[in-house]
Structure 1
Amino acid sequence: MELLHNAVRPYAWGSRTAIAELLGKPVPAPHPEAELWMGAHPGDPSRVCRTEGELRSLCDVVAEDPVGALGASCARRWDGRLPFLLKVLAAEEPLSMQAHPTARQAAEGYAREEAAGIPRDAPERNYPDPTAKPELVCALTEFEVLAGFADASRTVRLLRAIETPELAAYTELLAGQPDTDGLRALFTTWITLPQQRIDDLLPDVLKSCARHAEAGGEFAAECATVVQLGDEHPHDAGVLTSLLLNRIELSAGEALYLPAGNLHLYLRGTAVEILANSDNILRGGLTPKHVDVPELLRVVDFSRGTMPVLRGEPDGDPRLRVYRTDAPEFELSRVEWPGGDNGDVELPAGPQIVLCTRGGAVLRESATGRELRLCRGESAWLAASDGAVSVRPTTSTAPAQLFRATAGRVE
């Protein structure tokens, strides 16, 4: 049970306030801070203090004793590798549109690119590793997302609400086949349009969206988002394809699970994100980075409908809620104490990272009685060999909140 020292990733879309404020640092930060990483990702691993003053990479700690760190079954299933990465994500501006592969697609793509001799750090590389990358995002503030293809009939209504002469043929394409195949056809058509055609089409679409948003129409929020994306990416087909996705606003504590193939785009807000420990991303636009359209079309799942919002299921203790998914790589839980409650919550053994996002907490090893205090913004690594732990707030007078990341349940 050890305190983690974590890296902050300074991507341009990040916030200059959210992560700095969480960590108790001066606000605003000198530069945008996008993600706080907690885990054993080789690109920016957390570090633990193993001897006085010596910080060691969590990657090295896990590799040194995989069974002790992960437990025998987890170490065997994931080949001695911590299978998840925990983040705090702070988006001031929209990220790129993207999807992630299944385990089979990732393994096949990785083998194909290895055989072709594409360097793993090459900008055109789609599969730098052979593993899947499901994700779950849980809001800390209001968090806005585009995710999954909306029901085709609803999208037809949206397109007709903003219809321009240039858009009419595309609206009728989907209206004539308002199903998964129709969505695939329209998405494929838009993402493969010649650049000149995109440049001719987008201005009128954006003007129509702006009018609809200003009038407070049925699709005002969707249209306002399209206008924002168009302002930032005025020549990008992703602005058009964003019209096909569900727009979702998460409140604090609500979560979305993004399985393989789900096309998504984070718009704004601060959240805890847990994902498989992989770098496999197929981008669909709204980015200067590499977009491999044929490979994206092989990966994207065109199933349509509303995305279920997860609120966490009770798990024994009323303070503990688990966001259950079918991802074998991870499981995320949230522990909350209202003011006036300082009761213990038991956390089972397993490789886990515990992050404090409100108040403070004390972790206590059940077997040894050893304790570790966490302030807001701090996190701890608990190896499987540490056994079960109990956790309680540092004070009963103020609310407290923790997130617990661990490996998925092995059936």
Structure 2
Amino acid sequence: MDRLSNTVRPYAWGSTTAIPDLLGVAPTGEPQAEMWMGAHPGAPSRVTRAGHPEQPLSALIQADPERELGPATVARFGPRLPFLLKILAAGAPLSLQVHPDLEQARAGHAAEERAGVPVDAPHRNYKDASHKPELICALTPFEGFCGFRVPGRTADLLAALEVDSLKPYVDLLRAHPEDAALREVLTAVLAADPAETAATVTETAAACDRLGGDHAPYAVLAHHFPGDPGVLAAMLLNHVRLQPGEALYLGAGVPHAYLGGLGIEVMANSDNVLRCGLTPKHIDVPELLRVVRFEPHDPGVLRPEASPSGEEVYETPVDEFRLSRFVRAEGAAPVDITTPTPQIVLATSGAPRANDLSLTPGQSVFVPAGERTELSGTGTVFRATVVA
């Protein structure tokens, strides 16, 4: 196995302290948003294998994909690691966004390729031909928004604000079937005059501040993104609070945004994102409306299911990744985690060991497919792999 050297991405929304605190290092004063573990071309982990100079994990895999990933993984997903593991530290809200399903991603990518849209163009929607399901597991209390709330409940939430310019949305949410109501309101919010929207957001934020309670998270959004229509769009969504160890699965077509907290995120290895708001980046409203699933959605907070080995698995409906956790107490017997698929093992507390490698919080290793691997020691370990 190979100890990983990982890149921390300094996105503006990142916490300045959460990742340094986990790693036990001094903060730099700059935001540290995500630590990437994997072979994504944007920031592949680096490895030093015995007898070889340091190299990107992507290069190691490319040199012998069947050895590193296993024949079955290569046959299903091609010669690349199909998942990306992250430590995510949100110190401010992230953009409101949605991801395409696999068919939409393939069609959208092919269309933009035919049109000659540069892959790094700011208005490009589909940078690759993959879908991007995600799972976020909280390490600290974690807040976000996920999936449409039942329209009638959203109507009540908006009506309580007593903002005149919100009343047409309230009427739409109460007068139409659920899917039509959600589509009409989101379309109206994104198509409205920007100056009028900014005024509505300002008045809405003041009312949310005044009422507090269930309205308070939307005041936070408006503080970070004054006048942004994404604030109103987010009010259509469920507000979710995760406690440490709880997780949230984000499938295709489900609008979502993170508000704050530290977590472990795993996703299919893709960059396909369609944004709804809370961002200065490009928003393609027609394509967004085509991809969004306009249906009320129960966020379905996930709690891990324990196996006899002590592995706690977060079950999801996708094959590109499988996330699990081991919480190892003092004196726990070693456990064999050998698997025919590639895996990344990440410590988040204590002093666990993977074979003869000791891990401190934030340290990780890449384990090639089939390599015998045993966990020992104490602490919490997350394991990302592919569904066998």
Kindly state the Cα deviation for residue 53 of structure 1 after the two structures are TM-superposed: 7.3
- Partner residue in 2 for 1:143: 142
Which residue is equivalent to 1:16?
Answer: 16
2:333 maps to 1:348:
no
Do residues 168 (structure 1) and 167 (structure 2) align?
Answer: yes
- 1:99-130 Cα shifts (integer Å, max 9, x gaps): 11111101101001111111101111111111
Q: Match of 1:384, as an amino acid? A: A
Structure 1 counterpart of 2:196? 197
Partner SS, residue 322 of structure 1: strand
Q: Which AA in structure 2 matches 1:335? A: F
| 8 Å Cα contact 2:136-2:265 kept in structure 1 | yes
Distance 2:360 2:209 in 1: 45
Map 1:386-401 → 2, pairs under 5 A: 386=371, 388-393=372-377, 400-401=379-380
Could you tell me which runs of 5 or more consecutive residues in structure 2 were left unpaired when the two chains were aligned.
none
Q: CA 1:70 to 1:160, structure 2 compared with 1: closer, same or farther past 3 Å? A: same
Are residues 1:384 and 2:383 paired? no
Give the conservation status (yes or no) of the 8 Å contact 2:93–2:224: no
Match of 2:326 in 1: 335
* Aligned match of 2:72: 73
> For 1:257-304, what per-residue CA distance to the aligned partner results, in whole angstroms no more than 9, with x for missing partners?
001111000000000000011101101111011111111111111221
Per-residue deviation at 1:153? Answer: 1.8
- Tell me how far apart the structure 1 counterparts of residues 194 and 36 of structure 2 sit (CA, whole Å): 37
Please tell me whether the aligned partners of residues 37 and 45 of structure 1 are also in contact (alpha carbons under 8 angstroms). Answer: yes
1:21 maps to amino acid? D
Contact 2:136 2:248 survives alignment (8 Å) = yes
Could you tell me whether the CA contact under 8 Å between 2:87 and 2:265 is conserved in 1?
yes
CA distance in 1, matches of 2:308, 2:180: 43
Runs of 4+ in 1 over 4 A off after TM superposition: none
Q: May I ask how many residue pairs the two structures share in their alignment?
A: 387
379, 382, 387: which one pairs with 1:403? 382
The alignment partner of 1:136 has SS state of: strand
Aligned position for 1:320: 311
Taking a change above 3 Å as real, the CA distance of residues 53 and 70 of structure 1, as seen in their structure-2 partners, is closer
Contact 1:233 1:286 in 2 (8 A): yes
Say if 1:275 and 1:259 are closer, same or farther in 2 by CA, change over 3 A. Answer: same
Please give the root-mean-square deviation of Cα atoms over the aligned residues, in Å: 1.3
Secondary structure (helix, strand or coil) at the match of 2:164 reads coil
* In 1: Cα distance, 2:179 partner to 2:59 partner: 46
Contact 1:140 1:272 in 2 (8 A): yes
Say whether residues 1:258 and 2:250 are aligned partners: yes
Are 1:237 and 2:229 matched, yes or no?
yes
- SS of residue in 2 equivalent to 1:321: strand
Write out per-residue CA displacement over residues 16-66 of structure 1, whole angstroms, 9 at most, x where no aligned residue.
11111222211x323110000000000100011024572111001111111
Number of the residue aligned with 1:246: 238
Question: Aligned runs of 1:43-122 on 2, under 5 Å?
Answer: 43-51=42-50, 54-122=53-121
Residue 280 (structure 2) pairs with residue 288 (structure 1)? yes
Letter in 1 for 2:23: L
SS at 1:167 equivalent: helix
CA distance in 2, matches of 1:37, 1:305: 29
Q: Distance in 1 between matches of 2:222 and 2:324?
A: 36
Per-residue CA deviations over 1:76-114 (Å, capped at 9, x if unaligned) read: 111111000000000100010011111110110100111
Report if the CA contact (8 A) 2:39-2:58 is conserved: yes
Shift of 1:199: 2.4
CA distance in 2, matches of 1:234, 1:74: 46
**Do the aligned partners of 1:38 and 1:87 also contact (CA within 8 Å) in 2?**
yes
C-alpha displacement of 1:315: 2.4
Q: CA deviation at 1:196?
A: 2.3
The alignment's TM-score, normalised by the length of structure 2, stands at 0.97
Could you say which residue in structure 1 is the equivalent of 2:359?
Answer: 374
Structure 1 partner of 2:35: 36
CA distance in 1, matches of 2:322, 2:282: 31
In the alignment, what sits opposite 1:217?
A: none
Return the offset for 1:178. Answer: 5.0
The aligned residue for residue 4 of structure 1 is 4
C-alpha distance in 2, partners of 1:51/1:121? 36
2:92·2:224 contact (CA, 8 Å) conserved in 1? no
**Contact kept? 1:256, 1:308, Cα under 8 Å:** yes
Aligned partner of 1:157 in structure 2 is 156
Q: In 2, Cα distance between the equivalents of 1:9 and 1:344? A: 34
> What SS does the aligned partner of 1:159 have?
helix
Aligned-partner Cα distance in 1 for 2:369–2:264: 23
Distance 1:178 1:204, change over 3 A: farther
Aligned equivalents of 2:308, 2:290: Cα separation in 1: 41
Question: How far apart are the structure 1 equivalents of 2:290 and 2:198?
Answer: 26
